[in-house]
Amino acid sequence: MEMTFRWYGASDPVPLKFIRQIPGMKGIVSAVYDVPPGEVWPYEVIAELKQTIEAAGLKLSVIESVPVHEDIKLGMPGRSQYIENYKTTLRNLSRAGVKTVCYNFMPVFDWTRSSLNFELEDGSNALIYEEEKVRRMNPLNGELSLPGWDSSYEPGELKSLLEHYQTVTEEDLWENLAYFIKEILPVAEEVGIFMAIHPDDPPWPIFGLPRIIRSKENLERFIRLYDSPHNGLCLCSGSLGAEPSIDFPELVRHFGRKGRINFMHLRNILRTGEKSFQESAHLSEKGSLDMFEIVQALSETAYTGPYRPDHGRMIWGETGKPGYGLYDRALGAVYLNGLWEAVTKGAAKG
């Protein structure tokens, strides 16, 4: 597998030179953050990002993500131009040598949490999701301000967007996703890019909005939309693992054997209720996920693609973007490398 690390560009407080010092670190997961959703990413901007990363002794392994404009998700008349722009961006990324693109199809809101700095028992701070608190939230009042979703909407724009979604059912969203996939995948195949859709986080509807990439059955339905290894998954243990009914290692084995996992996000969580959880250290005695079994499943299915330690706690007094500090993610990376070595060497001797 190829160990990678999320980096938010020049504004990221974590320097590339520090990321390079993490044992086993090979690649960077990043994006172009100053182009509005739906617009074309210029090749020159992508090339500059790649050059910056390579100058630090790393490689640009994954783009996460190229945002899908809401008009595409809604099936609005303007989606055709946004889809053409998406195709052009894929061609520009391929020209720059990018082979993996992660994206999502979550309406309006990307990954969502109820608190950014919840204090855990050990004094560290973590992202948490409390269902009751989220139910009481009103996104129109500015109560959501999380890294990972576009907070640039003015209140009037957000209100209008949410109103558009009031008549959109899950089947409507499936239809719009199918239309998008059948348009962009021939281009992805042509230019050699492997697409990886990220599951909904959390994997259930929020704020009355439909969410569809959230179960084994739905992931299976998704890969059938376009039968190609270029139409693949980003399996995120922390997202799908929040749903108690999902056996995540079994999910890895199922889709790994089909050759449809194109990217992996690995992190641990502690479920605190039916639809509530705390993010925890990758190595956690109280974690709800068996990280060893997850890595073992990846080994059994001969996964060789990129993976990254996902959200981490804020530890040792570190400040910055919640969930994306250096220290805990670096510890997670080293832990995952240790698991990978133990699993693969054990298999070789066994």
Catalytic residues: 198, 236, 265, 310-311, 324
Asked if residues 242 and 202 have their Cβ atoms less than 8 Å apart, the reply is yes
User: Looking at the DSSP assignment, which residues form a beta bridge with residue 273?
Assistant: 276
Question: What DSSP character marks residue 314?
Answer: B
Residues 6+ apart with CB under 8 A from 287: 268, 269, 270, 280, 281
Q: Which of 23, 21, 24, 29 is nearest to 5 (CA)?
A: 29
The CA distance from 77 to 71, in Å, is 8
Asked if residues 332 and 6 have their Cβ atoms less than 8 Å apart, the reply is no
210: exposed, middle or buried (Cβ count in 10 Å: 0-12, 13-18, 19+):
middle
Beta strand segments in 81-193, E:
100-103, 115-119, 125-129
For residue 53, give the H/E element and its range.
helix 43-55
Q: Calculate helix-pair angle for 216-223, 248-257, nearest 10 degrees.
A: 20
The CA distance from 243 to 318, in Å, is 30
Asked if residues 29 and 7 have their Cβ atoms less than 8 Å apart, the reply is yes
3-class DSSP state of 33: coil
The CA distance from 223 to 260, in Å, is 8
What tokens appear for 198 in the block?
A: 């990220």
Residues 6+ apart with CB under 8 A from 48: none
